[in-house]
Structure 1
């Protein structure tokens, strides 16, 4: 515990330019102020951050007045919930009036009531490890619900009954899964029981809030922990039903893998390969594609012959299911397109054999992957979960060979920006036609020709275009 105390003291000293000054400003105005929640928890875990949360007796209008003239910028987008935000230097601060909030059973938005004590405010927080505070300017540690003990045991509990906490804000059930994934904590049995019993309550929470929690979970260091908890409690069946659906009933001869376990392994192996990406990780698109890559299997499973199992076209079906789910969760169009593209292409490599693809097939692979090529490399490699070491090594060598061919062709032909050898203006001049569908058809012909044959001279491309035009009268 001495090490924890030293860690906390060092972190409080680091954030003193904000902590002490704000404490004195609020005290001079007759108000109380306390650092609260995640910053206190993370200080004990030795995790540094510049986003600071405070709670105060001051009403929002008072908080805003006290921040003016001190902060570089002040905003009040959270005023309806008692929150005023500001930025000063590299610090981002949110200060919220003591409050209590609860959900109407039929509402998606919390009703906010301001509270009148720090202990009451801490009691309405999600978990005991987030219900600790440091009052300022005196730096007095407050822990009325035993958060420091739970932090030491790395367990998530609620300050009061979990049923009351989850009734107040059902999203806290997903936050339990997210914190398990972020911090590597276990979740107390009574909390798991309440999540299971109340899982359907998550349906009143807006898709955007659910999405944000899911993104944080998937991008955490241990997403398997959180996802497994969501499946176990029934939460996943309501927010990401494609995931528990992967737990297919095994056929009596065990002719196919456990798709659910395979998916979690692919996710973990994908995470391990994120260093291959230009920005490293965590990478949401890469991880979500790994999570969704086989979601088409339940709908395409067929038993044939002597009990063999097939999943024909599960890549195409999975891409459609992925789009629908991500749209329902209000992901951006760019994220949806990227993930769906990866899901649809994740099987393409298996046609490569031992290197039989022509250069044309390699060009098309790169063209179809577009700006997702680096992620497709990761997903394809991660999708190998066989326990047969010889087979796994052979697949790695084969994909190494494909990447080497891509690199060679890219250096020779600038594959990432493959275009026809003639542009639209040239096509119109050569054929003597105005803008219209005919130009687009000619452009697509030249692009296919470019992919099949590689770069051509302007003369060769013109000859081919004229021949195509003659054989395809408009």
Structure 2
């Protein structure tokens, strides 16, 4: 831990400057944790990425130490004791020891300066974030709550009572979920019990912060265990109840214990396809949200049929609406909401393909309706096959391969990515003798449907069809 300081010239020089000014300064928190994890895997000291420091100096004293050394400073967090700086190309955040109190009605602390490093560490969220290394000449390591041991054991604990920590700041419960995915940590029984007890307190947190933490969890390489904690403790009941509701719904194919387990498996498989595709964005938030939520319409559409069968007719339609409503409530950007909703709506379309019975018109519509989401739709549909019957899984994969081949063949003959009517608006108005208005839009849509149904037409044929349609009105 002491060697972490030596591999960063910026830290060494900051230590000299603060010490000369009569102040303590320590490398602390996530920067220590992440550097130790990197060092553990590399077998040698690794320089911290983000440089998070804590000091007994007040913000104005910190600014004085940095004067003439930092190329720039910023004060956006100074009300909370944090001074940001850039030093030799490195970004540094230096925060005064804190001794805050929480009102437990919001998560906003009553900011109070502290005088003790140990007291400052005690108010941090987890023991793995409550370790510090002095930048002074002695390089003292301070780990009063056993954070290093917890990190090596991959254990997640709070410095004090977990119930008190989460009551102070309920967002810490979502951070616990994220650390399961990000760091591979396992929460101890006290942490899980406190999360379960205080899950309703998550309602105090703004939708934006909830969404930010949930997205960060989902974007990790293997988020399944974290999502199981999220649902199992009841946190999902507060912010994403549609996910929890899947646990009791039996999959209509009887291939899985429930739709919830199926959805987690679809997510696992979608991530694997995403990572394996060199041309794909990775991590892909839209694909992962769609994989996790594609079946959330099933609880509302569940019907018991004859001979013990269960159906979920039109669950993709209901699901698309639920996705739009929930992701909007969580303040996701509009483009993300619409993309995930669209993928949810389209994820069952392929099952009408059968053994290749679709006409070219149906293939064109599939491509056009997906638009630029087509690569993601391919991954989602393939991931949605979770049958353990190898013969059936191979047949489904081969059938989808044949659809992809047909799309490629049509794309080679036609510009499927930009299907438009064979006549533009100006020619429509000229041919029909009309001015701009609703009639032009209706004519344009008629020609678009004709183009989807029959493929490209030559201008004379398109004009004849348009005139016939116009007279029939």
**Equivalent in the alignment of 1:444:** 445
Report the CA distance between 1:72 and its aligned residue: 4.2
Deviates more, 1:347-356 or 1:401-410: 401-410
**Equivalent in the alignment of 2:246:** 246
Shift in alpha-carbon separation, 1:89–1:260, aligned structure 2, 3 A: farther
Report the CA distance between 1:101 and its aligned residue: 3.3
Q: Secondary structure of the residue that 2:111 maps to in structure 1?
A: strand
Q: Secondary structure of the residue that 1:86 maps to in structure 2?
A: strand
Report the CA distance between 1:65 and its aligned residue: 4.4
Report the CA distance between 1:465 and its aligned residue: 1.8
**Equivalent in the alignment of 1:266:** 266
Q: Is the CA contact (8 Å cut-off) linking 2:249 and 2:259 kept in structure 1?
A: no
**Equivalent in the alignment of 1:110:** 109
**Equivalent in the alignment of 1:175:** 175
Equivalences for residues 43-442 of structure 1 within 5 A: 43-46=35-38, 50-88=49-87, 91-138=90-137, 139-248=139-248, 250=250, 258-274=258-274, 275-276=276-277, 278-442=279-443
Supply the distance in 2 between the matched residues of 1:110 and 1:368 (Cα, whole angstroms).
49
Normalised to the residue count of structure 2, the TM-score between the two structures is: 0.93
Supply the distance in 1 between the matched residues of 2:64 and 2:433 (Cα, whole angstroms).
70
Normalised to the residue count of structure 1, the TM-score between the two structures is: 0.92
For each residue in 1:261-296, what CA deviation from the matched residue of structure 2 results, as whole angstroms up to 9, or x when unmatched?
001100101110103263442111111111110000
**Equivalent in the alignment of 1:465:** 466
* RMSD between aligned residues: 2.2
Q: Is the CA contact (8 Å cut-off) linking 2:171 and 2:202 kept in structure 1?
A: yes
Deviates more, 1:104-113 or 1:401-410: 104-113
Report how many aligned residue pairs link the two structures: 464
Supply the distance in 2 between the matched residues of 1:288 and 1:237 (Cα, whole angstroms).
17
Aligned counterpart in structure 2 of residue 39 of structure 1, from 2, 6, 31: 31
**Equivalent in the alignment of 2:42:** none
Unpaired runs of 5+ residues, structure 2, are 40-45
Shift in alpha-carbon separation, 1:39–1:426, aligned structure 2, 3 A: same
Unpaired runs of 5+ residues, structure 1, are none
Deviates more, 1:62-71 or 1:342-351: 62-71
For each residue in 1:341-379, what CA deviation from the matched residue of structure 2 results, as whole angstroms up to 9, or x when unmatched?
111111111111111111111111111111111111111
For each residue in 1:438-465, what CA deviation from the matched residue of structure 2 results, as whole angstroms up to 9, or x when unmatched?
1111111111111111122222222222
For each residue in 1:374-421, what CA deviation from the matched residue of structure 2 results, as whole angstroms up to 9, or x when unmatched?
111111010001010000000111111111111222222221122222
Q: Secondary structure of the residue that 2:248 maps to in structure 1?
A: coil
Q: Secondary structure of the residue that 1:242 maps to in structure 2?
A: helix
Q: Secondary structure of the residue that 2:51 maps to in structure 1?
A: strand
Shift in alpha-carbon separation, 1:425–1:109, aligned structure 2, 3 A: farther
Deviates more, 1:97-106 or 1:261-270: 97-106
Q: Is the CA contact (8 Å cut-off) linking 1:102 and 1:167 kept in structure 2?
A: no
Q: Is the CA contact (8 Å cut-off) linking 1:40 and 1:133 kept in structure 2?
A: yes
Report the CA distance between 1:84 and its aligned residue: 2.4
Report the CA distance between 1:211 and its aligned residue: 0.8
Supply the distance in 1 between the matched residues of 2:426 and 2:337 (Cα, whole angstroms).
33
Report the CA distance between 1:102 and its aligned residue: 4.0
Q: Is the CA contact (8 Å cut-off) linking 1:381 and 1:396 kept in structure 2?
A: yes
Q: Secondary structure of the residue that 1:337 maps to in structure 2?
A: helix
Q: Secondary structure of the residue that 2:121 maps to in structure 1?
A: helix
Q: Is the CA contact (8 Å cut-off) linking 1:295 and 1:318 kept in structure 2?
A: yes
Supply the distance in 2 between the matched residues of 1:160 and 1:191 (Cα, whole angstroms).
11
Supply the distance in 1 between the matched residues of 2:258 and 2:182 (Cα, whole angstroms).
26
Report the CA distance between 1:88 and its aligned residue: 4.6
Report the CA distance between 1:310 and its aligned residue: 0.6
Q: Is the CA contact (8 Å cut-off) linking 1:253 and 1:307 kept in structure 2?
A: no
